Amino acid sequence: MTDVWGTPERTALRALAAEFTEREIAPNVDQWERDGELPRSLHERAASAGLLGTAFPESVGGQGGSIIDSTIVSEELLFRGASSGVLASLFTHGIALPHIVGSGNADLIDRYVRPTLEGRLIGSLAVTEPDAGSDVSGIRTRAVRDGDHYVVNGAKTFITSATRADFVTTLVRTGDDPHRGLSLLVVDTTTPGFTVVRRLEKMGWLCSDTGELAYVDVRVPARNLVGAEGSAFVQVAQNFASERLGLATHGYGIAQRALDLTVEWVRNRTAFGKPLIAKQVVRHKLVEMKRAVEVSRVYAHHVAERVAAGEQLYAEAALAKNQCVAACEFVVDEAVQLHGGAGYMRGTEVERHYRDARILGIGGGATEVMNDLIAKDLGW
Ligand SMILES: Cc1cc2nc3c(=O)[nH]c(=O)nc-3n(C[C@H](O)[C@H](O)[C@H](O)COP(=O)(O)OP(=O)(O)OC[C@H]3O[C@@H](n4cnc5c(N)ncnc54)[C@H](O)[C@@H]3O)c2cc1C
């Protein structure tokens, strides 16, 4: 059987991502957590290394490949000491650009996709509003056509990378129909009337800046419309599947890292005259953690392979997300437990993973919303 994950090209990509993480990311994560954001130079360095455009077609400035390749990059970052917050912020373009690429609009691709994949621009995706998160059809930010422009008024919240962003791919209401009245506009953050109202303080993902945005009479050129007017609900829904698989990778990736750190810890930590790992209860806990990680990774890989082969798998992506999130929450909790008091201290890596993990069951579709989607797919 061909191992699509272990081809020579992908083995080289894995090594590249591992080396980049150990050199450029792991030594700096604690400082970036204190800074509350990633430096722009990291985007440039990741682009130069060939890691920013994985899974984006070469025709738009990417490195090509599929979700298998982007999964490999994410895995290596997480396994080697980056964090879920680093991935969320460094790869925000993974949610901000796909709609633009999918539209095939050469002008938008030249102005936004290529420079972002070269590490020169930072983009965000703004869907969520103060009164509408899980229910995307409830958004109220409105765009009214006025000659060659749309005039946008509204508010967005919880937007990743928004305080650093050069442009925000913004979900707006261009009609009254809950679903067919939605469109996507690329808004330059220098446009008059656009403001980052505040930088939000969070439980985890501290190195990933998160912003609340206001749009007051923001005049956006009509040529910044992504795809056809009224087509955004479908565009957003299509891209949710790959976002959810990406978050599934965060789940088992964090869990694998937390397990590795914990194995090392219990080998070295002595209690009652022996290393902790000498206790059967401790070894059993490690095995349960390993089981959760392995099952999650194998299922997520299975779904990623089918998606890479061209299947549209919304329910399976949701199942993968929920499985990996549950596994991650279990593993990081046990990791903190086995680290004892040290596990509760700032500066201990598992403490950061414990806090970072909590967003995974909320962002990109809450666990309950995933279950609704799965039940509907099953006809229940
Ligand atoms: C750190 C962070 C980064 C984010 N980044 C972005 C971003 O870049 N762009 C963006 O647009 N958004 C972003 N979000 C927003 C995120 O996608 C939303 O928080 C998420 O979709 C949930 O929406 P909500 O917060 O409005 O919760 P609500 O929709 O108010 O739901 C609250 C809770 O109710 C429950 N619930 C909701 N619906 C159902 C249901 N149908 N059945 C049963 N229970 C239900 C769930 O437990 C859910 O967590 C981010 C959020 C965070 C915290």
| Helices 232-268 + 67-79 axis angle, to 10 | 30
Nearest-angstrom CA–CA distance, 182 and 174? 6
**Whose structure tokens read 């002595």?**
270
Q: Which two tokens stand for residue 228?
A: 């056809």
**Cβ 211 under 6 angstroms from ligand 1:** no
**Ligand 1 pocket, residue 158 CB under 6 Å:** yes
Residue nearest to atom 4 of ligand 1 (CA): 158
Q: 99, 47 in Cβ contact below 8 A?
A: no
Query: Which is the catalytic residue, given 33, 129, 243, 351?
Result: 243
Indicate if ligand 1 lies below 6 Å from the C-beta of 133: yes
- Give the burial class of 191: count Cβ atoms within 10 A of its Cβ; 0-12 exposed, 13-18 middle, 19 or more buried: middle
Q: What is the pLDDT of residues 280-319, one digit of tens each?
A: 999 999 999 999 999 999 999 999 999 999 999 999 999 9
- Say how many Å lie between the CA of residue 362 and the centre of ligand 1: 5
CA pair distance 218, 323, nearest whole angstrom: 41
For ligand 1, pick from 89, 92, 127, 134 the residue to mutate: most ligand atoms within 8 Å of CB. Answer: 134
Res 9: pLDDT: 97
**Angstrom distance (rounded) from CA 341 to CA 30:** 19
Where residue 238 falls among pLDDT bands split at 50, 70, 90? confident
How far does residue 133's CA lie from ligand 1's centre (Å)?
5
Residues 6+ apart with CB under 8 A from 188: 166, 167, 194
* Contact call for residues 222 and 156 (beta carbons, < 8 A): no
The number of the ligand 1 atom at minimal distance from the alpha carbon of 156 is: 11
The answer, yes or no, to whether any atom of ligand 1 lies below 6 A from the CB of 247, is no
- Residue 311 annotated as catalytic: no
Ligand 1 lined by 59 (C-beta under 6 Å): no
* Euclidean distance between CA atoms 238 and 118, whole angstroms: 25
Please state the φ and ψ torsions of residue 142, each to the nearest 5 degrees: -115, 140
User: How much is the pLDDT for 241?
Assistant: 85
pLDDT score recorded for residue 274: 97
Of the listed ranges 234-238, 257-261, 265-269, the least confidently predicted one is: 234-238
Give the contacts of 232 (CB within 8 A, at least 6 positions apart): 99, 171, 172, 182, 183, 184, 226
The strand pair at 123-126 and 142-146 is best described as unpaired
Q: Which two tokens stand for residue 210?
A: 């998160």
Q: What is the pLDDT of residues 4-39, one digit of tens each?
A: 999 999 999 999 999 999 999 999 999 999 999 999
